[in-house]
Amino acid sequence: MNSEIKHYGWLALVAALVATIPLMTSNDFYLRIVFLIGVNYIAASGLNVLVNYTGQKSLGHAGLFAVGAYAVALLTTRWGWNPWAAFAMAGVLAGLFGVVIALPALRVKGPALAMVTIGFGIVVEKVVSEWQDVFAGQQGIYGVVPLKLGDQMFASSHWVWFVLALCVVLHVMFRHLLAGRFGRAFMAVNTAEVAAESVGVSVYKFKVLAFVISAFTCGIAGALITQQNQYINSDFITFNLSVFFLLVVLFGGNSVYGPLLGAVVLTLLDSLLSRWPGVQHFTYGALLLFALYAMPNGLAGTLRSLARKYAPGLLATPQLPQDLPAWQLKSAAPLASTGAEGLLDGRGIYKAYGGVVPTNEVDICIKPGHVHSLIGPNGAGKTTLLNILSGIVVPERGSIQFAGQSIVGVSPNRIARMGLGRTFQNLRLFSDMTVLDNVKVGLHAHIQAGFFASLIGVGKARRAELAARDEALQILDRLHLRDKALHTAGSLPYGLQRRLELARALATHPRLLLLDEPAAGLNPQETQELIQVIARIRDLGITVLLIEHHMDLVMAVSDHVIVLDYGQKIAEGTPQQVQSNPRVIAAYLGSDDESEDEAMNGGKHA
């Protein structure tokens, strides 16, 4: 709470100082620069969510700026709209165009995504240049109605104060949003999409949402420029504008303060170099390369690193509650009566990749309250089967019932919300987030805070966030990670990272927990601790399906063992039954009798 008070105190002080600028000078050039800093911050604040938090690079936001600019121009000059209503509508229309871009663009990734957004920007630029009857091309649209106070049009000082107010509101709202449930989901999508899906975060939904947010703020920025100038033409809408917005975000850095730092530095630099367009464009390119390679965390990240090294007292350390009650699993709804024998029942599951068949007509039944182990030699198809059960891979045929519902073709995030959690063979932590925030991402589906409530950050959203913090600490305490809560996940030793991934999976409140080689890379002591952890998980009422090569662990924790070989189930039963099964000995452990081995192989592949 003290850090919150300190933050708002500094915010009020900075806002008050900026608000006095129009009182100290009437120079339109200086006031114009302050206005442009605010406009560029507004455009970059939303783009920051898309680029730095969600990891989606866009080079077409000049097109979204154009949507807002031309919307307010056409609405006020041709259809006689009230300038305030037109201003609001400009943001809404730009947001809708954000959806239009996002839906096709997000089917591709990386450089291909950037190319799609470039294409959108070029199309918009050509439309406003060539469609003279509507957009008037380079001649432009004159007489755009500016914002007014009563019958008085905004003067330069009013524009500064209005943009300042918008910047303060947006900063507060984005600070709440990005510090909570939505911010963590954006960062999870950026870091590890498959892991985000596995804890109930819809990757596609959050990418689209990030596009809409960035489009809305760019549209607002376009409307502000147009109404302040009372004019817009196609020369405003260039590829260089998209590059400038992206540069502000990348140069500012991955922080809620990044867009502000980038907007201040680059707007001032842009004003200084405006007389030399060639030098200006060269500088943009040089700074973009510098931001990408020499300063990957941007100006905000560099300042944060310096503060951590030389003035750690400036960085707020959250105060965490002590003596919380022990964590308990939420009670699950009773299973639907469908005739299925277990919590999860799969029949005839088949998946092929060309001539390779990692899952060949596998039947599997997972009974509630048991620890099931899935074993087999390398390449037997174990991880493929887990990926099918968790929705990451869709089988070509077969049925899978989980908790009485079919989950074939259901998205991984929906399956996770139904109560199926998992860990991964290769660690998929959100490595740049804290240990505490990793577990909070696991709680994502259980935090009852909507988008607009999270923007405001008080009331229900505030209570939900505090409850999530407390529950995440309870889970960490269960796995003896409480003292690491504020450490960065990627800085933990490997064994603790394994345990953290398990804590994140537990946070989803699973009915069934899939563990893919949880002992991989652990030393003997850590393996013994894992045996105890799995036993405690079962005691909580969670059913476990475990893939593991460590036979001592399998035999110690399992109630039921399933053996795969070449994608087929060759045996199942108690650990003792499987351990003495001749087919398992031949296929998994090997056989000393060569003729017996040949006989086993012949029977196996018949």
Residue 601: pLDDT band (50, 70, 90) is very low
Q: What is the pLDDT of residue 589?
A: 56
Amino acid in position 154: F
**248-274 pLDDT, tens per residue?**
999 998 899 999 999 999 999 888 887
pLDDT of residue 319 exceeding 80: yes
Nearest of 582, 588, 533 to residue 380 by alpha carbon: 588
Average per-residue pLDDT for the chain: 89
> Residue 595 class from Cβ within 10 Å (0-12 exposed, 13-18 middle, 19+ buried)?
exposed
Q: Where are the beta strands (DSSP E) in 231-378?
A: 231-232, 344-353, 356-366, 371-375
Bridge partners of 516? 547
Contact 396, 445 (CB under 8 A): no
Whether the pLDDT of residue 392 is over 80: the answer is: yes
Distance CA 164, CA 23 (A): 14
What distance in Å separates the CA atoms of residue 586 and residue 101, rounded to the nearest whole number? 56
The architecture of the domain spanning 341-419+510-606 is: 3-Layer(aba) Sandwich (3.40)
For residue 329, which phi and psi values (nearest 5 degrees)?
A: -70, 140
Q: Model confidence over 159-168: pLDDT tens digits?
A: 999 999 999 9
Residue 180: strand, helix, or coil: coil
| Three state DSSP letters for 193-213 | HHHHHHCCCCHHHHHHHHHHH
Segment 408-427 shows an average pLDDT of 94
Tell me which DSSP letter residue 434 carries. Answer: B
Res 313 pLDDT > 90: no
Could you report the per-residue pLDDT of 460-472, keeping only the tens digit for each? 899 999 999 999 9
Please calculate the CA angle 508-191-394 and round it to the nearest 5 degrees: 60
User: Distance (Å, rounded) from C-alpha 354 to C-alpha 563?
Assistant: 23
The structural domains of the chain, with segments of one domain joined by +, span 27-238, 341-419+510-606, 432-509
Averaged pLDDT for residues 346-355: 93
Total Cβ atoms within 10 A of residue 118 = 17
Helical pair 181-191 and 156-179, crossing angle rounded to 10 deg: 70
Measured CA to CA, the distance from residue 413 to residue 197 in angstroms comes to 5
- For the ranges 280-289, 316-325, 549-558, the lowest mean pLDDT is seen at 280-289
CA 229/CA 79 separation, integer angstroms: 19
Residue range 91-119, pLDDT digits in tens: 999 999 999 888 877 777 777 888 888 98
Looking at residue 591, what is its pLDDT?
53
Distance set, CA 1 to CA 4, 137, 184, 317, 541 (Å): 5, 53, 20, 11, 37
Q: What is the DSSP string of 283-298?
A: HHHHHHHIIIII-TTH
Q: Report how far residue 213's alpha carbon sits from residue 99's, in angstroms, rounded to the nearest whole number.
A: 10
Q: β-strand 560-565 against 568-573: which pairing, if any?
A: antiparallel
C-alpha span between 372 and 587 (Å, rounded): 20
Q: What b-and-e string marks burial along 520-558, b requiring 16 or more CB atoms within 10 Å of the CB?
A: eebeeebbebbeebbeebbeeebbbbbbbebeebbebbb
Rounded-to-integer distance, Cα 515 and Cα 440, Å: 20
* Burial classification of residue 109, based on how many CB atoms lie within 10 Å of its CB (0-12 exposed, 13-18 middle, 19 or more buried): middle
pLDDT the model gives residue 341: 65
Poorest-pLDDT segment among 232-241, 308-317, 346-355, 492-501: 308-317
Q: pTM value?
A: 0.90
Residue whose tokens read 């990670």: 481
Q: How far is the C-alpha of 176 from the C-alpha of 460, rounded, in Å?
A: 13
Residues near 311 by Cβ (< 8 Å), separated by ≥ 6? none
Rounded Cα gap, residues 2 and 316, in angstroms: 9
Question: Would you say 574 and 551 are in contact if contact means Cβ atoms under 8 Å apart?
Answer: no
SS3 347: strand
Residues 386-390: contacts with CB within 8 Å, 24+ apart?
Answer: 386/422, 386/514, 386/516, 386/545, 386/547, 388/349, 388/351, 388/359, 389/344, 389/346, 389/364, 389/420, 389/514, 389/545, 390/198, 390/415, 390/416, 390/420, 390/422, 390/514
Contact 201, 441 (CB under 8 A): yes
pLDDT tens string 332-345: 655 554 445 689 99
Residues 108, 114: Cα–Cα separation, whole Å: 9
Taking only the tens place, the pLDDT of each residue in 220-244 is 999 999 999 999 999 899 898 998 9
Own/partner long-range contacts of 173-177 (Cβ < 8 Å, ≥24 apart): 173/455, 173/456, 173/457, 174/45, 174/48, 174/49, 174/256, 175/7, 175/256, 175/457, 176/454, 176/455, 176/456, 176/457, 176/461, 177/49, 177/451, 177/454, 177/455, 177/457
pLDDT of 592 above 60: no
Judged by average pLDDT, the poorest of 312-316, 443-447, 512-516, 543-547 is 312-316
